[in-house]
Amino acid sequence: MAMISRRRFFSGLGAIGASSLLAAHSRASSQLPVLRATASTAQLTPKGYPPTPVWAFSTEDAATIPGPEIRVKAGGRVTRTLFNELPEPTAVHWHGIRIDNAMDGAAPLTQAALPTGATFDYDFVCPDPGTYWYHSHNRSREQVARGLAGPLIVEDVEPWLGLPGAASRELTLVLDDWLLNEDGSIVEGRWDDLHAAAHAGRMGNTATVNGQPYPVFDLRPQERVRLRIINVATDRIMPINLPGLSPKLIALDGHPVVPRDVETVELAPAQRADIVIDAPVSASTQIGLMLDTGRGNQVELASFNIEGEPIATAQETTRPLPSWTTRPRPDLSSAQKEPLLIEGGAMRGMTEAMYHGKTMGFRELTSHGMAWAFNGVAHGIDDPMFEARLGRTILMELSNRSAFPHGIHVHGHHFTILTRNGVSDPHKDVRDTVLIGADEVVEIAFVADNPGKWMIHCHMLSHQASGMMGWFKVA
């Protein structure tokens, strides 16, 4: 079982009981705090069941699921030396951060994956406040599913917590979905299951919140709390209900929204929602955080235990988060239009697509592990989908011609959702990952204000691995 040791081996105080040669080496080789990617175990199932061997991140001696929460104030720097103690190469992507391209971790596009035993210094500014996360970006379908993910919280410069109408405190909830055997081990040998990849992906049989099965969180009566919910699942879309807690949405993918009531917040893999909840008046009640599994079925992922003296921070109005000034607004009058045609998968397939420069029929594509394409190209790593001049507004029309929903993620930029099926989106939400339903057409716009090579891919990692990937260049 993963034990969290309070002893920091990288404390800057010299050699206090280095736990391994690797740790000693990492201390000697770099001045930055260490982020290790390593094999570990975690109690993902209830007590009494065997712990699960996982791959996980650590900043201290023992790795944890999820990885340690990294916190920084907006405008501040995150500095970590990644130390790869895994048996295969890895790299870390800082999901949703409008980051310096060289730090994006998108192997092999922005850096080579680090071989076993190698280190890499990540050092970057986080310009925008909000709820983000970090995860492996090499062989992600397998490495993220093994546990390589953690929260990255960028705090507002002026604190919002404690102000009238705001929450009194916050909780980060990392939702995950695991495919486990009865002995608790992760199901192996099906990582490149093309049947799953051509459908909804690798669906788990065990859900965790902060790496635990059914954790219980204490709330005081009438307490207002901010939840930072992150879906780090490999493929599972999570529709979340918080009945009886008057949930109000205050941010999506880190970006503040005008507070609004939400009955169900649907999170595609990689999406985040910040939600304010108000505990009820009466103590000694227990309220579930529910996952809607479809057809009217709900599964309880965690619960809130209402206990103790009332604290009455819940109020009529919800104080909005401070709005950003850091992200440039798209200029639609001079936008560069780029289509993103999504094709493939079971039930529809596609007649043909390019794979590494060769046109192939669907059958031949599947023999290479490919089942999906963007604009007729499966796994578009060789050439950019388009190029944009620095500062140009990009208007993308995403057309999902497949029978499955997808969570499309754009690296290094946040986009405005303009329309769905031709209808103007009432909220004009700003996100870094958008869920697009079967046969849906979604228009998004962003300013290409960050030079470099940026990936666009489906964040259902089984889809990404089987073709739903491309990139664009900003210069």
Count of all residues that appear for the chain in the document:
475
Q: How far apart are CA 343 and CA 341, in angstroms?
A: 6
CA-closest candidate to residue 118, choices 57, 29, 18, 10? 29
Per-residue HEC secondary structure of 252-281 comes to ECCEEEEEEECCEEEECCCCEEEEEEECCC
Chain positions 124 to 183 lying near Cu ion, rule: CB under 5 A, are none
The H-assigned helical ranges of 335-374 are: 362-367
Q: Which stretch binds ligand C2O (CB under 6 A): 190-198, 239-247, 440-448, 453-461?
A: 453-461
Q: Which does 220 bind (CB under 5 to 8 A by kind): Cu ion, ligand C2O, none?
A: none
Could you say which of 82, 251, 430, 455 contacts ligand C2O (CB under 6 A)? Answer: 455
Q: Which does 93 bind (CB under 5 to 8 A by kind): Cu ion, ligand C2O, none?
A: ligand C2O
Two tokens, residue 289 = 């955080």
Give phi and psi for 103, each to the nearest 5. -100, 5
| Cβ(150)–Cβ(133) below 8 Å | yes
CA 349 to chain centre: 27
Q: Which is nearer to ligand C2O, 53 or 384 (CB)?
A: 384
Q: Which does 435 bind (CB under 5 to 8 A by kind): ligand C2O, Cu ion, none?
A: none
431 sits near ligand C2O (criterion: CB under 6 A)? no
Q: Which is nearer to ligand C2O, 141 or 409 (CB)?
A: 409
Q: How far apart are CA 344 and CA 352, in angstroms?
A: 9
Could you say which of 139, 413, 431, 457 contacts ligand C2O (CB under 6 A)? Answer: 457
Chain positions 40 to 99 lying near ligand C2O, rule: CB under 6 A, are 93, 95
Smallest distance from ligand C2O to CB 468, Å: 11
Could you say which of 98, 139, 224, 409 contacts ligand C2O (CB under 6 A)? Answer: 409
Q: Which is nearer to ligand C2O, 146 or 248 (CB)?
A: 146
Q: Which helix (H) or strand (E) holds 29?
A: helix 21-29
Q: Which stretch binds ligand C2O (CB under 6 A): 32-40, 81-89, 420-428, 451-459?
A: 451-459
Smallest distance from ligand C2O to CB 369, Å: 18
Two tokens, residue 360 = 């192939």
Chain positions 216 to 275 lying near ligand C2O, rule: CB under 6 A, are 270
Q: Which is nearer to ligand C2O, 199 or 463 (CB)?
A: 463
Give phi and psi for 213, each to the nearest 5. -80, 125
If 0-12 CB within 10 Å is exposed, 13-18 middle and 19+ buried, where does residue 214 land?
middle
Q: Tell me 341's DSSP state.
A: E
With H, G, I as helix, E, B as strand and everything else as coil, classify residue 36: strand
Q: Which does 137 bind (CB under 5 to 8 A by kind): Cu ion, ligand C2O, none?
A: ligand C2O
Q: Which is nearer to ligand C2O, 137 or 226 (CB)?
A: 137
Query: Which residues contact residue 358 at a Cβ distance below 8 angstroms, ignoring those fewer than 6 apart?
Result: none
137 sits near ligand C2O (criterion: CB under 6 A)? yes
Q: How far apart are CA 138 and CA 115, in angstroms?
A: 11
| Cβ(132)–Cβ(152) below 8 Å | yes
411 sits near ligand C2O (criterion: CB under 6 A)? yes
| Cβ(468)–Cβ(369) below 8 Å | no
Q: Which does 95 bind (CB under 5 to 8 A by kind): Cu ion, ligand C2O, none?
A: ligand C2O
Smallest distance from ligand C2O to CB 114, Å: 17
Q: How far apart are CA 86 and CA 97, in angstroms?
A: 25
Smallest distance from ligand C2O to CB 433, Å: 8
Q: Which stretch binds Cu ion (CB under 5 A): 55-63, 183-191, 402-410, 429-437?
A: 402-410
Q: Considering CB under 5 A, how many residues would be counted as binding Cu ion?
A: 4
With H, G, I as helix, E, B as strand and everything else as coil, classify residue 224: strand
Q: Which stretch binds Cu ion (CB under 5 A): 17-25, 288-296, 363-371, 403-411?
A: 403-411
Q: Which is nearer to Cu ion, 196 or 460 (CB)?
A: 460
Q: How far apart are CA 117 and CA 137, in angstroms?
A: 17
Smallest distance from ligand C2O to CB 105, Å: 8
CA-closest candidate to residue 303, choices 177, 184, 176, 173? 173
Chain positions 436 to 465 lying near Cu ion, rule: CB under 5 A, are 458, 460, 463
Q: Which residues here bind Cu ion, judged by CB under 5 A? A: 406, 458, 460, 463
Q: Which residues here bind ligand C2O, judged by CB under 6 A? A: 93, 95, 106, 135, 137, 270, 409, 411, 455, 457, 459
